Amino acid sequence: MDKLRICGNGPLNGEIRVSGAKNAALPILCTSLLTADTMRFTNVPMLRDISTTQKLLQGMGVRVMTDNVHEMEITADHLDSLVAPYDLVKTMRASILVLGPTLARFGEATVSLPGGCAIGSRPVDQHIKGLVAMGAEVVIEHGYVKAKAARLRGAHIVMDVVTVGGTENLLMAAALADGTTILENAAREPEVTDLANCLVAMGARISGIGTNRLVVEGVDKLHGCEYAIMPDRIEAGTFLVAAAITQGHLILRNAAPRSMESVLDKLVEAGAIVEAGDDWISLDMKRRPKAINFRTLPYPAFPTDMQAQLMTLNCVAEGTGVVTETIFENRFMHVPELNRMGARIEVEGNTAVVHGVDKLSGATVMATDLRASASLVLAGLVAQGETIVDRIYHLDRGYEYIEKKLGAVGAQIERIS
């Protein structure tokens, strides 16, 4: 099992190219299920979750061609199976995203229920509620969601919670439904917008894109298109924190600064000098970071996927920062590991109080989920001595060549078996 060995060695300096966004790519690859034509995707990140999606689609009979250098062609002219099996869904919850498009185009879909995960219980009731409102018959049997509808019909759906995956599933389903669907209290995350833009390029009729009220006029058929996946705002944010805590200077290329304003604001509050153009961000940190307070909330507020990384910044900052997690109930798994590296974090319910310390010390630590792993890598960059981050298969789900990217800007980091 692979591990990362990191030795804290001072400021990072240089340029990094940001990869395509994992969380945009996962739903966008599933749009292939909505058309018999070939879809061509560029800027696809080469990650473990992307190969899981590829396996999932291939298992259903979809043809996937990839050059493994960020391009993929997918043709779902026919399917052999309308089932997403447990073996794949258990490794990636986003597999639930095949439910909406498969049901909408083929009239039937069976997807294993994802179940809980390290960061919380993560139900899919809103996905199901929406599909039922659109006329689907849904039963849960033997751990699977089985949905049927000769043709989905438009409906007025008010989501009880803001859910990214739920909004995406229903958006894809509504694109081929009979009539108009209105999704109220929809998620506004940039990845939802990227999916909506891809659907529009396929011939879907969607208005309200980027707002929490999406109106979809269903069409009979969608066509193929070429689509470039947006840059990954969470990967970009992680590198910016790396620059801030090492008191370095990084320029990110192929970035999407407008999708990450809440994170950039917090980095400025921590004392960083941040500049940005349309597709680049520069962060220069000339001092020890100042501790910051933040609360995770749906977009455009501060993203839960950056909570662990900014917590690492607070660990080595001047002062005390208060972090509140409101999206997932169990997303402080990195705290005991950071404390093992010398951090001073106290957790009370969904709030963590982080007292900045002068130094972290390297230790062997265990990755528990994707973003928790990223926070431990960041801590390793500023810790004295050697840090070994174990179980980095979590990290490989969402960070492409992280050791190469960080190594190229001066980090001492290597992958070991």
Among 65, 139, 158, 161, indicate the residue that binds ligand UD1 (CB under 6 A).
161
Nearer to ligand UD1, 247 or 304 (CB): 304
**Measured from the CB of residue 402, what is the shortest distance to ligand UD1 in angstroms?**
17
Nearer to ligand UD1, 31 or 163 (CB): 163
Among 8, 154, 165, 342, indicate the residue that binds ligand UD1 (CB under 6 A).
165
Residue closest to 318 by CA, chosen among 349, 287, 279:
287
Q: Name the one range near ligand UD1 by CB under 6 A: 28-36, 72-80, 160-168, 317-325.
A: 160-168
Among 147, 164, 196, 313, indicate the residue that binds ligand UD1 (CB under 6 A).
164
d(C-alpha 108, C-alpha 106), whole Å: 6
Q: Which two tokens stand for residue 323?
A: 């972090």
Residues in CB range of 374: below 8 A, 6 or more apart? 238, 308, 309, 395, 398, 399
Nearer to ligand UD1, 38 or 91 (CB): 91
Residue 333 sits in the site that holds ligand UD1 (CB under 6 A): no
**Measured from the CB of residue 111, what is the shortest distance to ligand UD1 in angstroms?**
13
Size of the site for ligand UD1 (CB under 6 A): 22
Residue 328 sits in the site that holds ligand UD1 (CB under 6 A): yes
Q: Output the residue with the shortest Cβ distance to ligand UD1.
A: 165
Residue 305 sits in the site that holds ligand UD1 (CB under 6 A): yes
Q: Name the one range near ligand UD1 by CB under 6 A: 161-169, 306-314, 383-391, 399-407.
A: 161-169
Map the footprint of ligand UD1 across residues 104-133, applying CB under 6 A: 120, 122-127
Residue 184 sits in the site that holds ligand UD1 (CB under 6 A): no
Residue 163 sits in the site that holds ligand UD1 (CB under 6 A): yes
**Measured from the CB of residue 177, what is the shortest distance to ligand UD1 in angstroms?**
19
**Measured from the CB of residue 11, what is the shortest distance to ligand UD1 in angstroms?**
29
Nearer to ligand UD1, 61 or 120 (CB): 120
Binding mask 70-99 for ligand UD1 (x = CB under 6 A): -----------------------xx-----
Map the footprint of ligand UD1 across residues 23-42, applying CB under 6 A: 23, 26
Q: Supply the residues annotated as catalytic.
A: 117
**Measured from the CB of residue 165, what is the shortest distance to ligand UD1 in angstroms?**
3
205 close to 217: Cβ distance less than 8 angstroms: yes
Residue 209 sits in the site that holds ligand UD1 (CB under 6 A): no
**Measured from the CB of residue 118, what is the shortest distance to ligand UD1 in angstroms?**
12
Nearer to ligand UD1, 87 or 125 (CB): 125
At residue 363, φ and ψ (nearest 5 deg) are: -155, 170
Q: Which residue carries 């993560």 as its tokens?
A: 122
For ligand UD1, the binding residues (CB under 6 A) are 23, 26, 93-94, 120, 122-127, 161, 163-166, 187, 191, 304-305, 327-328
